[in-house]
C-alpha cells in the first residue's frame, strides 16, 4: 500500500512530550502541527522517545527505532523524513 504523503515527520512518543513543548506543538507553524502544511505529512510517534531517552540519557535503542520507522516510511513512498525536535540531533554524526 502506497502512502499519499511524501514528507514524513518522526515525533517523540505520544504523552511523553514536556508540557512546554506541547504548547508549542499547538501553534500553527510548528513542525508537529498538521495545520502548518498545505499538503499531507506522515507523522509517526517513536515509542520510547522522550526527554530521558533523547536528552538525559541518549538511547541507541530509541535511535534504532527512529531509523526503523524511517525505513518503513521510505518503503511506503515517503521521499523526505525529518524529526520533530532539534534535540534529536544528538544521534547525528
Residue 87 lies in a domain: yes
Q: Quick one: which of 91, 83, 2 has its CA closest to 54?
A: 91
Q: Is residue 1 very low, low, confident or very high in pLDDT (cuts 50, 70, 90)?
A: very low
Helices (H), the chain: 19-25, 51, 60-75
Residue 1 lies in a domain: no
Higher pLDDT: 41 or 16? It is 41
Residue 2 lies in a domain: no
CB burial readout 44-73, b (16+ within 10 A) else e? bbbebbbeebbeeeebeebbebbeebbeeb
pLDDT, tens digit (0-9, with 9 covering 90-100), for 69-90: 999 999 999 999 999 887 788 8
Residue 62 lies in a domain: yes
Domain that holds residue 73: 7-91
List of residues 6+ apart from 69 with CB closer than 8 A: 10, 44, 46
pLDDT, tens digit (0-9, with 9 covering 90-100), for 20-59: 666 677 788 888 889 999 999 999 999 999 989 999 999 9
Question: What is the tally of structural domains in the chain?
Answer: 1
| CB atoms near residue 40 (< 10 Å) | 12
What's this model's pTM, rounded to 2 decimal places? 0.83
Amino acid at each position: 500500500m502506497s502512502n499519499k504523503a511524501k514528507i514524513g515527520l518522526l515525533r517523540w512518543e505520544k504523552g511523553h512530550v514536556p508540557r512546554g513543548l506541547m504548547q508549542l506543538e499547538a501553534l500553527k507553524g510548528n513542525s508537529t502541527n498538521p495545520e502548518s502544511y498545505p499538503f499531507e505529512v506522515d507523522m509517526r510517534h517513536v515509542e520510547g522517545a522522550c526527554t530521558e531517552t533523547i536528552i538525559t540519557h541518549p538511547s541507541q535503542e530509541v535511535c534504532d527505532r527512529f531509523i526503523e520507522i524511517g525505513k518503513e516510511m521510505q518503503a511506503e513512498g515517503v521521499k523526505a523524513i525529518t524529526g520533530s525536535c532539534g534535540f534529536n540531533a544528538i544521534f547525528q554524526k
